[in-house]
Amino acid sequence: MVMPKIRVIPRLDIKGPNLVKGIHLEGLRVLGDPAAYARHYYQEGADELFYMDVVASLFERNSLSDIIEKTAREIFIPLTVGGGIRTVEDIKKVLRAGADKVCVNTGAIKNPAFIKHAAELFGSSTIVAAIECIKQPDGRYFAFIDNGREETGLEVVVWAQKLQELGVGEIVVTSVDREGTGEGIDAQLIQSIASAVNVPVIAHGGIGKPQDAVEAVKAGASAVAVASVLHYEALMNGKVGREASKIEGNTRFLQENRNYKKITPCGLNDLKQTLQSSGFQVREIYS
Amino acid sequence: MKNVVILDYGLGNLFSVLQAFKEIGVNAELTDDPEKLALADAAILPGVGAFGHAMKELESKKIIEPLLAFAKSGKPLLGICLGMQLLMDKSEEFGEHLGLGLIQGSVKKFPMEYNHQKVRVPHMGWSSIHSSIKKHPSMVDVKDGTDVYFVHSYYVELAQPEVNQLTWSEYAGFRYTSSLVNGNIWAYQFHPEKSGKAGLQLYKNWAQHFQL
């Protein structure tokens, strides 16, 4: 069996000028300057980068353009940007700033026709859909919006198929239950969506060690979006600075140098080597 | 300084193409002006989105005739992604559409299944390129099997692969043409501007070969 190469995608959650990281998409800690992390990941062989403006959806604002422009000037891998995208104008703005793809969640659920229109206009491969999934007491998974705060009543597999039909080029499946916890991916969730659609699925939420990425791929993911393990590794080993803008957010974590519990910080290389030794192909870095 | 233009006829991200050329020392200019194209020393035809839509945009901007004239003049023309597909005779994307007809062959959709295995479309990610033409100047310092970044649901089927195929690649076991050449026309199905240092090297090779 010839499998396509698995992509490892650092996910950078951004709040105002800072890179942040939360748990269950909440309780955001400030980690530093997103551009410094982006540069570091590019050098380390990231296959793509994924920026998510975590508050744009709530406050109806879009503050990413400056960070995107800065990144696109020096980083020559694909860049996906999400957060608060609701109109064709929003997409144009983000693409013009240098993004290659846009990621839509709330905008898609509130207005499916917008996704169809956007896919026709910009091409399917430019439109990525995110599904924020929360497991219900009865075992079903529902799609949420606004960082897992508002329930939509949409069953995730049904919604994923609908998104494919509307023309999205890939789907980011976020397990809100696992996100930021490092407890491993929700294989059942990934498997149920990956087997139901034909577009690539990016698994997000829960990777706390390299083996978790392998489990995501075994469940059918074409790519994994990874945050905590990479950010903490970069931070701990001094690969990025500790300066962060103090204007916004909780910076106590950075100052106190606290430890992390269920997370085994690791670099992109560790993740890729583990995938490779499990029989999955990854991109070979050009040198 | 040579005058290099990037044809800006649609909605794609041309910022990164522009930026990648800047990185290798080529200051290209975005334009949709047929006169600027006619005066240029080299032209880049990028593209993202649907084939039919792109041809319509080129037509409405009156770029088709000047582009064909440019290609026949012998000046370097570089197609990228959809820009490579547009060079072909025709495409079967959403019905049949005629292309620029600069390269013989057509554009086809990836199969849903290959060798009893699901083929996820679009092909979005990294695949290796393998040379079909030995020691072609486009591949200077790019070794066989180098990984580059692809985003496509359709691929080019050349009428004369033995003449025009520069590299081939595989997706889910399915082999296809990943770059082509016809004299002064070079084209890549992948995105060199998104392929890290390997991609920058490929752009550099093009610029150096044509002394831009």
Q: Which domains occur in chain B, in start order? A: 4-209 (3.40.50.880)
Model pLDDT, residue A61: 55
Judge whether residue B97 has pLDDT over 70: yes
Q: What is the CA radius of gyration of chain B?
A: 16
For chain A, the domains span 7-277
Q: What is the mean pLDDT of residues B111-137?
A: 94
3-state secondary structure string, B38-51? HHCCEEEECCCCCH
Q: What is the mean pLDDT of residues B41-56?
A: 91
Token pair listed for B117: 């295995």
| A60-64, A151-155, B197-201: least confidently modelled range | A60-64
The DSSP 8-state label assigned to residue A6 in this structure reads B
- Number of Cβ atoms within 10 Å of the Cβ of B131: 19
Rounded to the nearest 10 degrees, what angle do helices A88-96 and A112-122 cross at?
Answer: 40
Nearest to A264 by CA among A214, A216, A224, A229: A229
SS3 A247: coil
Which residues sit opposite A50 in a β-bridge? A11, A80
Model pLDDT, residue A250: 59
Judge whether residue B147 has pLDDT over 70: yes
Burial class for B115, CB neighbours closer than 10 Å (0-12, 13-18, 19+): exposed
> Residue A72: which of B15, B153, B197 has the nearest Cβ?
B15
Report which of residues A249 and B119 the model is more confident about.
Answer: B119
CB pairs under 8 A between A and B: 123
pLDDT over 90 percentage in chain B: 88
Q: What is the mean pLDDT of residues A37-62?
A: 85
Q: What is the mean pLDDT of residues B51-78?
A: 95
How far apart, in whole angstroms, are the C-alpha atoms of residue A143 and residue B191?
Answer: 33
CATH of domain A7-277: 3.20.20.70
**Mean of pLDDT over chain A:** 89
Report which of residues A108 and B128 the model is more confident about.
Answer: B128
Question: Is there a contact between A5 and B127 if contact means CB atoms under 8 Å apart?
Answer: yes
Question: Is there a contact between B122 and A199 if contact means CB atoms under 8 Å apart?
Answer: yes
Model pLDDT, residue A247: 45
Judge whether residue A123 has pLDDT over 50: yes
A-chain residues within 8 Å CB-CB of B145?
A: 284
- Number of Cβ atoms within 10 Å of the Cβ of A246: 11
B-chain residues within 8 Å CB-CB of A121?
A: 11, 49
pTM: 0.94
B94 touches chain A (CB under 8 A): no
pLDDT over 70 percentage in chain B: 99
Question: Is there a contact between B19 and A73 if contact means CB atoms under 8 Å apart?
Answer: yes
B199 contacts B21 by C-beta, under 8 angstroms? no
| A20-34, A246-260, B163-177: least confidently modelled range | A246-260
Q: What is the mean pLDDT of residues A71-77?
A: 93
Q: Select the residue from B9, B15, B80, B82 to test the A interface by mutation, using most A Cβ atoms within 10 A.
A: B15
| A15-19, B54-58, B157-161: least confidently modelled range | A15-19
Rounded to the nearest 10 degrees, what angle do helices A34-43 and A65-74 cross at?
Answer: 30
Which residues sit opposite B60 in a β-bridge? none
Residues of A with CB under 8 A from a CB of B: 1-5, 7, 42, 45, 47, 72-73, 76-78, 92, 95-100, 120-126, 169-170, 198-200, 222-223, 283-287
Token pair listed for B85: 């597909």
Among left, alpha and beta (phi > 0; psi -120 to 50; other), residue B119 is: beta
Q: What is the mean pLDDT of residues B179-194?
A: 97
Residue B139 pLDDT level (bands cut at 50, 70, 90): very high
How far apart, in whole angstroms, are the C-alpha atoms of residue A179 and residue A74?
Answer: 29
Angle at the Cα of A149 from the Cα atoms of A147 and A152, rounded to 5 degrees? 100
Out of A86-100, A147-161, A231-245, B138-152, the most confident range is: B138-152
The DSSP 8-state label assigned to residue A124 in this structure reads G
How far apart, in whole angstroms, are the C-alpha atoms of residue A89 and residue A93?
Answer: 6
Residue A245 pLDDT level (bands cut at 50, 70, 90): low
